[in-house]
Amino acid sequence: MPSFLKLEGIEKRFGTFTALKGVDLEIEQGEFVCFLGPSGCGKTTLLRIIAGLEAQSAGRIEQAGRDISRLPPSARDYGIVFQSYALFPNLTVADNVGYGLVNRKMPKFQVRQRVEELVRLVGLPGSEGKVPSQLSGGQQQRIALARALATAPGLLLLDEPLSALDAIVRVHLRQEIRSLQRTLGVTTIMVTHDQEEALSVADRIVVMNHGVIEQVGTPQQVYREPASPFVADFVGRVNVLSGQVDAAGHLRVGDAVLQFGLVQGQARPRGQDLKVYLRPEDVLAQPLPPGSAMPEAFEPGASNVLAARIDKIEFLGAYCLARVTSASLGEQGLTTVLSMNFLAEHGLSVGSALALRLLPDRIRCFEQ
């Protein structure tokens, strides 16, 4: 099946600065895609180019089989929601939502019906007569969403629509947007710099950095199989250790010899300095009372088992992040996830000894 939206070699220059360096991307019909990346990586510029609000310096855009590269915004088929609510402050909710329909000369009674349907869809039935200042930030974004969906566009563009809202409203509304998108089946692109937001709602995430796409993948792929150190660092927490692959092909970190997954992009290199990436939840921990052998909880003969001690415990509510150090790793620190129950059950605190197991197939290595 041909893709719904196809970007080919999109470049954008602002004077001498290149904001987008040849972006290629294909999006399927009905997909929810997030553009994720740090401030200034070019995600908003790319969204604005898709909307025709910014002209690309080079490249081609196709939507539903039609070349839209040079079409003005009004000739393209999308609805858009911006970060700041961008509702007309002096118009009622009904007039805001119905704006695009009136412009299209839809008969009045049909506009009224459609507006009623849309405000119900976004969970604000009965709000038609209010003005934006009578609504909370979250409610205003719901109305902005209803307005964007009014003409039943083929593409919904969301430019950081949740970032001005407080944390609880944000989490709630992102799930509502997701379920609304599923119900309507509208192809959606959301720009965000919030990795948790992207992981929780997207079918696929486009991770961007300095005007290029670093990785495109499902949330699971991006989190568990980051394609570059940047992606590993930007999405989720990660431990980074320095290691080398010795002549025999073993990974050495400090004095420890570790089993590990593949080095990105090549079979096991020899004699090379590597950056070793491992997420906190992939460092398993067991108590190690003084004088005792490595615990049996890690199956006998398990690889990558090390003795360590707790240096610091950061309480984060449901769980803790413990900073641990292991002499075997040449005193390089690691962060692991521990529950409060686990700490209490084993009487663990700063200074306590632990046995760690670094899950071999979760270790990812990149060349230095």
Q: Identify the burial level of 252 via C-beta atoms within 10 angstroms of its C-beta, where 0-12 means exposed, 13-18 middle and 19 or more buried.
A: middle
What stretches of 147-298 adopt beta strand conformation (E)?
Answer: 155-159, 187-192, 204-209, 212-217, 239-245, 251-253, 256-258, 273-278, 283-287
Note whether 14 binds ligand ATP by CB under 6 A: yes
- Please give the C-alpha separations between residue 253 and each of 263, 330, 355, in angstroms, as whole numbers: 15, 7, 17
Q: Which residue of the chain is nearest ligand ATP when measured via CB?
A: 44
Distance from C-alpha of 301 to C-alpha of 284, rounded to nearest angstrom: 15
**Least distance from ligand ATP to the Cβ atom of residue 14, Å:** 3
Note whether 162 binds ligand ATP by CB under 6 A: no
Element (H, E) at 304: none
**Least distance from ligand ATP to the Cβ atom of residue 291, Å:** 54
What stretches of 15-149 adopt beta strand conformation (E)?
Answer: 17-27, 32-36, 58-63, 66-67, 78-81
Q: Which is nearer to ligand ATP, 45 or 141 (CB)?
A: 45
**Least distance from ligand ATP to the Cβ atom of residue 205, Å:** 14
Note whether 138 binds ligand ATP by CB under 6 A: no
**Least distance from ligand ATP to the Cβ atom of residue 32, Å:** 19
Q: Which of residues 169-228 bind ligand ATP (CB under 6 A)?
A: 193
Q: Which of residues 17-56 bind ligand ATP (CB under 6 A)?
A: 17, 19, 37, 39-45
Distance from C-alpha of 364 to C-alpha of 76, rounded to nearest angstrom: 43
**Least distance from ligand ATP to the Cβ atom of residue 88, Å:** 24
Cβ proximity of 199 and 205 under 8 Å: yes
**Least distance from ligand ATP to the Cβ atom of residue 290, Å:** 51
Distance from C-alpha of 201 to C-alpha of 213, rounded to nearest angstrom: 19
Q: Which residues bind ligand ATP (CB under 6 A)?
A: 14, 17, 19, 37, 39-45, 193
